[in-house]
Chain A
């Protein structure tokens, strides 16, 4: 669903802006994001302070990130790109970069350095997975379980998902091969650093599917992030994978009897891309906002509204308490040392190459 939310400001328009440098920049900014709690956190952490600094600017949200790649390609073909900055997951940003739909960025030149002077590219480090991508947050796909349905021993390993004798009942998994086949191979005894060698070899995918076969009858497959928290709340499943922020709000905000299983949580990134070929004034505005919205303080501020880890190393020490609940946010971050003992980072490039092929095998397996 496309929710357009125009913010700000007929009143702000009456205030005459004084900044001279702002004159070459467009007075409108169209941001694309995911809607819901995540977009709200961006609104509060980046957009509201930016609007306060730039009276006269109008920011419009378009909650189309889920279809961003397809829509951006259609816009480019039609020769009318109406978006200025698009929030996308890392794999989508790589595809947009490959398709020439996103502009390649010079991170050190365009982004703010850390307060201690560390350059932006060093501050983001390995998280700069694509030349077109500015990461904002680290999130993870991980498991939540019903405290009251797992008996006396709470699950501690991702492989408990595959143990239907110890934990009978349904589990919900995302309806795609990514993450699921890695977990399956890991629990089938493959070492973490060999996952992709095995998966890419002959019979690798078949081995992963054979492992998933052992629980196939007990799986509810989800496609939207909100499904697992709902299934857990209804007692429909014992375990379920979803984005960690969704589980956080079910636990902390809605007081559901759900526990977190952080083992082998699958890290992923979400961030901004700049559509290629924007007119100069819109591009200047988008870059100005991008520099502000991805500085150390802003990324740390966002963590007060949602339990996703800031992508800059320098932001981590600044993460404080939840803005409304007043609880410490650090222990709920996927990047917290207590949670990140055993993590999984999926190989973007490998999946970009093999996704369609493996997806066909996965779909054929599902239909069997």
Chain B
């Protein structure tokens, strides 16, 4: 075969073209690799990506109005909310019929709760109407405009009907507008009154404080990691336990411990008064404010900074520093020009870990943050578990996620994600 001179495709030993045979072998290899990661891939898809996606979708989902009030949604389409006039009888009749159905399906209060997020007071209008609605005789009891107005004066409010009209589509931008302190007004999106603006300030505060926490973690962790990396293994292992021990302790316990330390009648203040630095009447306020959150969270997140720094520093041979000094560098130059650049990947990895963990924290800020030291995650938790406004919580979560991704992208541009090492 070796002396044949034809220019046909190169064949493999079994006579198939080599290209196809190679591709087949590669495909088999890829399949095998895919099968190996399949359990993890499926697990992540089912338990992480799908639920998160579903939760994020709630930030725009608004099926409930169209599903519960199908006739009203159609009838109210042509009404001009800016006319200042109430909708006509057909809209009221449609509403009465929808209310009757909704009341027997017990969904009228759900749609009331949904619309109440946008216009306080609607919930009770629906709740009260629902009690009577089961007995409505749609054919004979008209006119419904008067009937509904008799039931509750809320039905005579143009704004109530405007809210219903605005929120009849199946997809809404209302939650996202709310999450950036805006609302749907008569002429489109407009800012909320200043006394109701909370989320943008909270977001800015969350980002700013997370950066401060990351920075103080860098400052505190750097010398600790350096000592750990440069001590003999036996001693450094012992010291490493001191770093890890708090890491293994419950978050709540550590946060509560900070409360005892920092409060005005607490250990730190008592000590300062005792040595005479602070007068008894002027005890320091170092908890229930931003300072408290920064201290407690810096402590809690410190191991996430020390560990990557330590493992990077361990790989830097001490001979580099000695070489620099023998070539005439001062201590500072040797550190700054030779040692420090090699530790940047550790700082980078630690910073990403600490920053991303910090902006999602809510237990610690809730306990030691007082009023000015809480994060946006505290509001997300409030809307998930207390107000049940999951749409708004999802919108806030989506914004937080987007901000993290943007920052991650910026970080990649500035520091370079290849420049990050965990060890």
A360 and B382 alpha carbons, distance in the complex (Å): 11
Q: How far is the CB of B396 from chain A (nearest CB, A)?
A: 13
Given A69-B388, A95-B388, A236-B263, A100 and B107 contact (CB-CB distance below 8 Å): yes
The answer to whether B120 and A357 have CB atoms under 8 Å apart is yes
Instruction: Determine whether the beta carbon of A220 is less than 8 Å from that of B109.
Output: no
Inter-chain contacts of A170 with B (CB < 8 A): 264
Asked, given contacts A70-B388, A221-B288, whether A100 binds B120 with beta carbons under 8 Å apart, the answer is no
CB-CB < 8 A to A66: which residues of B? 385
CB contact list, A117-148 vs B, under 8 A: none
Chain A: number of interface residues, binned into ranges: 20 to 34
CA distance A344 to B387 in the complex (A): 23
Q: Determine the distance from Cα of A97 to Cα of B107 in the docked complex, in whole angstroms.
A: 10
Is B265 interfacial (CB 8 A cutoff)? yes
| A193 on interface, CB distance cutoff 8 Å | no
**Which A residues are in CB contact (< 8 Å) with B127?**
98, 349
Is the beta-carbon distance between B120 and A221 smaller than 8 angstroms?
no
Please give the number of chain B residues whose Cβ is less than 8 angstroms from any Cβ of chain A in the complex: 40
Q: Indicate if A214 sits at the interface (CB-CB under 8 A).
A: no
Complexed CA–CA distance, A221 and B110 (Å): 32
A353 to B371, CA, bound (A): 25
Q: Which residues of B contact A357 (CB under 8 A)?
A: 120, 196
* Interface of A, helix, strand, loop or mixed by DSSP: helix
| Chain A residue at minimum C-beta to C-beta distance from B384 | A70
Give Cα distance in the complex from A108 to B127, angstroms.
23
Inter-chain contacts of B389 with A (CB < 8 A): 356
Summed over the interface, the residue pairs from A and B with CB atoms below 8 Å come to a total of: 86
The distance from the CB of A226 to the nearest CB of chain B, in whole angstroms, is: 11
Q: Which residues of A contact B107 (CB under 8 A)?
A: 100
Given A355-B387, A356-B117: A364 in contact with B106 (beta carbons within 8 A): no
Using Cβ atoms and an 8 Å threshold, which residues of chain B touch A220? 288, 370
Q: Across the interface, do B109 and A97 meet the contact criterion of CB distance under 8 Å?
A: yes
Considering only CB atoms, which chain B residue lies closest to A95 in the complex? B388
Known contacts A221-B288, A223-B366; is A98 also within 8 Å of B123 by CB? yes
| Chain A 90-118 residues near chain B, CB threshold 8 A | 95, 97-100
Asked if B116 lies at the interface with its beta carbon under 8 angstroms from chain A, I say yes
Q: Taking the complex as formed, is B83 at the interface, i.e. its CB lies under 8 A from any CB of chain A?
A: no
A353 touches B196 (CB 8 A): no
A residues less than 8 Å from B106 (CB atoms)? 100
Q: Provide the bound-state CA to CA distance between A354 and B123, in Å.
A: 9
Minimal beta-carbon separation of B61 from chain A (angstroms) = 13
Interface-lining segment among B197-205, B238-246, B307-315: B197-205
C-alpha gap A77/B146 in the complex (Å): 38
Q: Which residues of A contact B120 (CB under 8 A)?
A: 353-354, 356-357
Residues in chain B near residue A97, CB distance under 8 A: 109
Q: Which of B202, B265, B370 contacts A235 (CB 8 A)?
A: B265
A234 within 8 A of B: yes
Task: Tell me the chain B residues, 356-381 only, with Cβ under 8 Å from chain A.
Answer: 366-367, 370-372, 379
Interface check B124, CB cutoff 8 A: yes
Instruction: Please report which residues of chain B, range 380-398, place their CB below 8 angstroms from some CB of chain A when the two chains form the complex.
Output: 382, 384-389
Q: A70-B388, A236-B264, A236-B265 are in contact. Are A353 and B116 (CB under 8 A)?
A: yes
Which chain A positions have C-beta within 8 A of B379? 363
A residues within 8 A CB of B201? Answer: 367
Residues on the A chain within 8 Å of B266, using CB: 234
A360: which of B198, B371, B385 is its contact (CB, 8 Å)?
B198
Shortest Cβ distance from A98 into B: residue: B109
Per-residue CB contact flags for chain B residues 262-274 toward chain A (1 = under 8 Å, else 0) read 0111100000000
CB <8 Å contact, A99 and B387 = no
| CB atoms of A359 and B387 under 8 A apart | yes
Contacting pair B385 A67 (CB below 8 A):
yes
CA distance A236 to B121 in the complex (A): 40
Whether a CB of chain A sits under 8 angstroms from the CB of B113 is: yes
Q: A17 interface residue, CB < 8 Å from B? A: no
The distance in angstroms between the C-alpha atoms of A67 and B385, with both chains bound, is 6
Nearest 7 Cβ contacts at the A-B interface:
A98-B109, A366-B371, A357-B120, A70-B385, A360-B196, A100-B106, A363-B198
Besides the known contacts A95-B113, A98-B113, A353-B123, 16 further A-B residue pairs in the complex with CB atoms under 8 A apart: A69-B385, A69-B388, A98-B127, A100-B110, A220-B288, A221-B288, A234-B266, A349-B127, A356-B116, A361-B196, A363-B379, A367-B198, A367-B201, A367-B202, A367-B205, A367-B371
Pairs across A and B, CB under 8 Å, 16 listed? A69-B385, A70-B384, A73-B388, A95-B388, A99-B110, A100-B109, A221-B371, A349-B127, A353-B121, A353-B123, A354-B121, A356-B117, A357-B120, A366-B371, A367-B201, A367-B371
